[in-house]
């Protein structure tokens, strides 16, 4: 059932029910009071007439008379004192009827009064026993059709009022539901748009109610989804673009190997280039998978990770390149504000710097940072890693080429490369810092990059909160 | 090498390859050289602009649009001013870039990844359009004058039918490249020609019969034909 039907049905039902009960009760009450009043008036009249009738003879006088004479006398006197609408009963039998109606079985009347319907007329019938002689009753029959008509008029008025209230209420209910439904329809249309991939639609509700809250939520949800989709689209677009160079190489060299007469040296070169490009693609895909995994918040290990161990692990991996290029690589500790001497892997009183997190991801993070430094420094350069246990941060700094200030805000974007050809020569995927930032965020930390062209770069990873 | 107006005799076309990725640059140069062109590789925009400014003479430039230093689009102007036709070869496959490149005066536009044969054919077409065909193609004793459409082998002039002549020039401009029969049909007879691949075989046989040098046309089993020019390969061997 539609909401409109439900709400209008409910309002109509409640209103009619309430009005029917109230109306019936009120009209009944009114009628009762009217009839009662008429009965009271009638009773007074009967009493008055009776008192006057009493003057006609004392109890003794009447008792002295013979029955026939007394009846005739009473009849005579009754005719004199009572007007139309009364009847004299003797032993529940009508002996003088001045009403317009036949009276039958008057003994059936037990209550003080009764209302009887005679054709179109309503009659109030009452009877009262004369104090003497015994066995005589006076019955009064009064036409109270006008009272009834008044009651009916009252009911009609009440019904008119009810109709009016009903109409107004239904109008208000319809307006309110219409408003709500309109808002709901807007929200539905927007949800439909979102389903179809259009996130531009915004619902602007002016009311200040739950619907407004809902629309706000939907709006911000749409924004969030759009942002995420845009991010992923950018990532995807950038990836497709970045894949072109290695793909061009692989296809081109393979094509050449297949269809062109090449010298032995050229063949070798071609194969090497294919290998190199495939390696590049492989690296890119690995990093992308990691990045997407982080986007999807896949299960992350969460255990204590000793960052010094992580750094030593990276050092061992890079040792070959470091010594070949004569690069000074140092891991230092910062204690009480001053940087202490070098840390060596078999330091006995090693105050390990631990964070909660995923060891593999953290290795990947610092591997990326150190690799970046390695790419930036000249042969014979210097890379320093400073572990600050108190402030829970690790800084990787080098005296390499640095990043131009204009590029600095963008370096954490996927596939952003300051110097594309250089980066590619060095097997850069353009994903390193994007990945690093994701990993840091996943660990609830943040990453700060400072750099001066020609002087070096300093990346600080700040891990949030204590253990 | 002489300019297109100064000298009639020209041994090889010289092509400037402006491409920042070392491997792709090498790929283009390697194939162009094997096919019988002379190449010069430049790896960034500023250097390319410098070469052009110095007035080095090229018959064509293969240009990557995204370059370190100067943007590739900005090089189209200076190159065309020097009457060097430009073939854009780029990863940017969007229509806007294409239109922009062509509007700025590029002769042709190719999107990476590309097929070697297509690149060679497009280069050939540009050179043809640009009236740079007044050059002479040579191979051993063979000399083909593209302008007058005459062919000599040693001292003797050999008469070739139009299709035979076109087939020969296609071979000479794509030396050492395997040319499938259907590709040859497209290139020589045109894409609308509804011939069979037999037609190619017949014409190749005629060429081999008329010209001794055309023994260099090798049939590749289940592939097509390949014009072997050992010179390019030998020259390559001499490189360190």
- Per the model's pLDDT, the better-predicted residue between A156 and A55 turns out to be A156
CATH number at residue A207: 1.10.287.130
Cβ distance B114 to A276 less than 8 Å, yes or no, reads no
Q: Which of A138-147, A215-224, A246-255 has the highest mean pLDDT?
A: A246-255
**A9 plus A86 within the same structural domain:** yes
Cβ distance B27 to A265 less than 8 Å, yes or no, reads no
For residue A296, pLDDT over 80 is answered with no
Compute the C-alpha angle A74/A80/A83, nearest 5°. 110
Nearest-CA residue of chain A relative to B220? A259
Out of B20, B178, B228, whose CB is closest to A421?
B20
Q: Which of B27-31, B157-161, B193-197 has the highest mean pLDDT?
A: B27-31
**A37 plus A106 within the same structural domain:** yes
For residue A66, pLDDT over 90 is answered with no
Q: Kindly state whether residue A173 falls inside one of the protein's structural domains.
A: no
Q: Which residues in chain A touch residue B181, judged by CB atoms under 8 angstroms apart?
A: none
Quick check: A278 contacting B, CB < 8 Å? no
- Give residue-wise pLDDT tens across range A309-331: 888 888 888 888 888 888 888 88
Q: Which residue among B93, B117, B132 closes a domain? A: B132
pLDDT recorded at residue B108: 93
Q: How far apart are the C-alpha atoms of B16 and B38, rounded to whole Å?
A: 9
pLDDT recorded at residue B131: 67
The number of folded domains in chain A is: 3
**B155 plus B225 within the same structural domain:** yes
pLDDT recorded at residue A420: 65
Percentage above 90 pLDDT, chain A: 8
**A309 plus A277 within the same structural domain:** no
- Give residue-wise pLDDT tens across range A418-442: 776 666 666 667 778 888 888 888 8
Out of A255, A261, A270, whose CB is closest to B176?
A261
A402 within 8 A of A455, measured Cβ to Cβ: yes
CATH number at residue A366: 3.30.565.10
Q: Which residue among A127, A157, A187 closes a domain? A: A157
pLDDT recorded at residue A433: 86
Cβ distance A258 to B226 less than 8 Å, yes or no, reads no
Number of neighbouring beta carbons within 10 Å of residue B149: 13
**A134 plus A279 within the same structural domain:** no
| HSE-CB for A118 with a 13 A CA cutoff | 16
Q: Kindly state whether residue B49 falls inside one of the protein's structural domains.
A: yes
Q: Kindly state whether residue A119 falls inside one of the protein's structural domains.
A: yes
Q: Kindly state whether residue A182 falls inside one of the protein's structural domains.
A: no
For residue B240, pLDDT over 80 is answered with no
**B116 plus B156 within the same structural domain:** no
Range(s) of the domain holding residue B100: 14-132
Q: Kindly state whether residue B220 falls inside one of the protein's structural domains.
A: yes
For residue B239, pLDDT over 60 is answered with no
- How does residue B238 score in pLDDT terms, banded at 50, 70 and 90? low
Q: How far apart are the C-alpha atoms of A186 and A190, rounded to whole Å?
A: 6
Q: Which residue among A298, A318, A343 closes a domain? A: A298
Q: How far A325 CA sits from the closest chain B CA (Å)?
A: 23
**B107 plus B151 within the same structural domain:** no
**B50 plus B126 within the same structural domain:** yes
**A414 plus A277 within the same structural domain:** no
Q: How far apart are the C-alpha atoms of A314 and B28, rounded to whole Å?
A: 38
**B31 plus B124 within the same structural domain:** yes
**B84 plus B98 within the same structural domain:** yes
Quick check: A241 contacting B, CB < 8 Å? yes
In this prediction the pTM is 0.61
- Give residue-wise pLDDT tens across range A189-203: 888 888 887 877 777
The number of folded domains in chain B is: 2
Cβ distance A252 to B22 less than 8 Å, yes or no, reads no
- Give residue-wise pLDDT tens across range A120-142: 888 888 888 888 777 788 888 88
**B202 plus B171 within the same structural domain:** yes
**B33 plus B126 within the same structural domain:** yes
Q: How far apart are the C-alpha atoms of B170 and B117, rounded to whole Å?
A: 11
Q: How far is CA A133 from CA A24, A88, A391, in A?
A: 45, 12, 121
> Virtual CA dihedral for B124, B128, B133, B138, nearest 10 degrees?
20
Q: Which residue among B132, B157, B183 closes a domain? A: B132
The mean pLDDT of chain A is 83
**B77 plus B113 within the same structural domain:** yes
Q: How far apart are the C-alpha atoms of A16 and B236, rounded to whole Å?
A: 103
Q: Which residue among B85, B102, B132 closes a domain? A: B132
- How does residue B10 score in pLDDT terms, banded at 50, 70 and 90? very low
Structure ipTM over 0.85, yes or no: no
**A265 plus A358 within the same structural domain:** no
For residue B183, pLDDT over 60 is answered with yes
CATH number at residue B33: 3.40.50.2300
Q: Kindly state whether residue A194 falls inside one of the protein's structural domains.
A: no
Which residues between 22 and 41 in chain B have a beta carbon less than 8 angstroms from any beta carbon of chain A? 22-24, 26-28, 30-31, 34-35
Q: Kindly state whether residue A147 falls inside one of the protein's structural domains.
A: yes
Cβ distance A262 to B233 less than 8 Å, yes or no, reads yes
- Per the model's pLDDT, the better-predicted residue between B29 and A75 turns out to be B29
Quick check: B91 contacting A, CB < 8 Å? yes
pLDDT recorded at residue B220: 87
**A314 plus A335 within the same structural domain:** yes
- How does residue A340 score in pLDDT terms, banded at 50, 70 and 90? low
pLDDT recorded at residue B6: 34
Q: Which residue among A102, A133, A157 closes a domain? A: A157
Q: Detail the DSSP E strand segments found in A71-203.
A: 86-90, 93-97, 113-118, 121-129, 136-143
Q: Kindly state whether residue B4 falls inside one of the protein's structural domains.
A: no
Range(s) of the domain holding residue A396: 302-462
Q: Kindly state whether residue A196 falls inside one of the protein's structural domains.
A: no
Q: Kindly state whether residue B127 falls inside one of the protein's structural domains.
A: yes
Quick check: B47 contacting A, CB < 8 Å? no
Q: How far apart are the C-alpha atoms of A38 and A146, rounded to whole Å?
A: 11
């Amino acid at each position: 059932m539609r909401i409109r039907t439900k709400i209008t049905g409910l309002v109509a039902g409640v209103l009619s029910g309430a009005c029917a009960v109230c109306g019936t009760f009120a009209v009944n009450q009114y009628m009762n009071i009217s009839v009662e009043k008429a009965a009271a008036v009638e009773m007074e009249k009967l009493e008055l007439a009776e008192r006057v009738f009493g003057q006609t003879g004392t109890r003794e006088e009447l008792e002295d008379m013979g029955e026939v004479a007394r009846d005739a006398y009473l009849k005579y006197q009754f005719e004199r004192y009572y007007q139309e609408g009364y009847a004299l009963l003797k032993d529940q039998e009508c002996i003088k009827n001045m009403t317009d109606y036949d009276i039958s079985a008057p003994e059936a009347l037990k209550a003080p009064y009764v209302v009887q319907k005679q054709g179109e007329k309503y009659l109030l019938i009452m009877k009262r026993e004369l104090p003497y002689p015994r066995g005589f009753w006076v019955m009064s029959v009064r036409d109270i059709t006008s009272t009834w008509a008044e009651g009916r008029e009252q009911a009609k008025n009440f019904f008119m009022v009810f109709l009016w209230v009903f109409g107004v209420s239904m109008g208000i209910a319809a307006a309110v539901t219409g408003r709500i439904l309109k808002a709901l329809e807007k929200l539905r249309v927007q949800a439909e748009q979102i389903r179809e991939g259009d996130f531009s639609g915004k619902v602007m509700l002016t009311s200040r109610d739950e619907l407004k809250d809902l629309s706000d939520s939907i709006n911000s949800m749409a924004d969030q989804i759009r942002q995420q989709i845009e991010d992923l689209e950018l990532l995807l677009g950038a990836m497709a673009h970045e894949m072109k160079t290695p793909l061009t190489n692989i296809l081109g060299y393979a094509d050449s190997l297949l269809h062109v007469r090449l010298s032995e040296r050229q063949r070798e070169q071609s194969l090497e280039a294919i290998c190199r490009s495939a390696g590049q693609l492989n690296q890119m895909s690995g990093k992308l998978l990691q990045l997407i995994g982080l986007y999807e918040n896949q299960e992350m290990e969460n255990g204590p990770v000793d960052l010094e161990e992580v750094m030593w692990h990276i050092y061992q991996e890079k040792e070959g390149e470091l010594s070949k290029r004569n690069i000074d690589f140092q891991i230092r500790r910062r204690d009480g504000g001053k940087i202490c001497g070098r840390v060596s892997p078999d330091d006995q009183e090693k105050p390990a710097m631990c964070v909660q997190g995923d060891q593999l991801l953290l290795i990947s993070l610092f591997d990326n940072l150190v690799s970046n430094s390695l790419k930036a420094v000249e042969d014979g350069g210097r890379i320093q890693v400073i572990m600050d246990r108190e402030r829970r941060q690790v800084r990787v700094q080098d005296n390499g080429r640095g990043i131009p200030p204009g590029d600095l805000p963008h370096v954490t974007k996927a596939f952003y490369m300051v110097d594309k050809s250089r980066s590619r020569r060095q097997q850069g995927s353009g994903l390193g810092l994007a990945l690093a930032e994701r990993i840091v965020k996943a660990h609830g930390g943040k990453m700060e990059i400072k750099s001066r062209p020609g002087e070096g770069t300093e990346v600080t990873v700040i891990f949030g909160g204590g253990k | 090498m002489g300019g297109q107006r100064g000298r009639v005799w020209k041994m090889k076309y010289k092509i400037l390859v402006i491409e920042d990725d070392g491997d792709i640059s090498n790929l283009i140069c390697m194939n162009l050289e094997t096919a019988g062109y002379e190449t010069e590789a430049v790896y960034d925009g500023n250097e390319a602009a410098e070469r052009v400014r110095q007035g080095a003479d090229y018959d064509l430039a293969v240009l990557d649009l995204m370059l370190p230093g100067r943007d590739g689009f900005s090089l189209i102007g200076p190159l065309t001013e020097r009457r060097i036709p430009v073939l854009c070869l780029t990863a940017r496959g969007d229509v806007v870039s294409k239109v922009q490149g062509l509007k700025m005066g590029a002769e042709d536009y190719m999107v990476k990844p590309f097929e070697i044969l297509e690149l060679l054919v497009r280069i050939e077409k540009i050179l043809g359009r640009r009236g740079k065909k007044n050059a002479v193609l040579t191979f051993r004793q063979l000399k083909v004058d593209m302008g007058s459409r005459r062919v000599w082998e040693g001292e003797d002039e050999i008469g070739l039918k139009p299709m035979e002549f076109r087939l020969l020039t296609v071979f000479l401009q794509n030396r050492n490249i395997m040319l499938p029969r259907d590709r040859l049909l497209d290139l020589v007879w045109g894409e609308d020609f509804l011939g069979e691949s037999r037609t190619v075989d017949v014409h190749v046989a005629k060429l081999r019969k008329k010209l001794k040098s055309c023994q260099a046309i090798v049939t590749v089993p289940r592939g097509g034909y390949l014009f072997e020019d050992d010179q390019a390969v030998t020259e390559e061997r001499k490189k360190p």
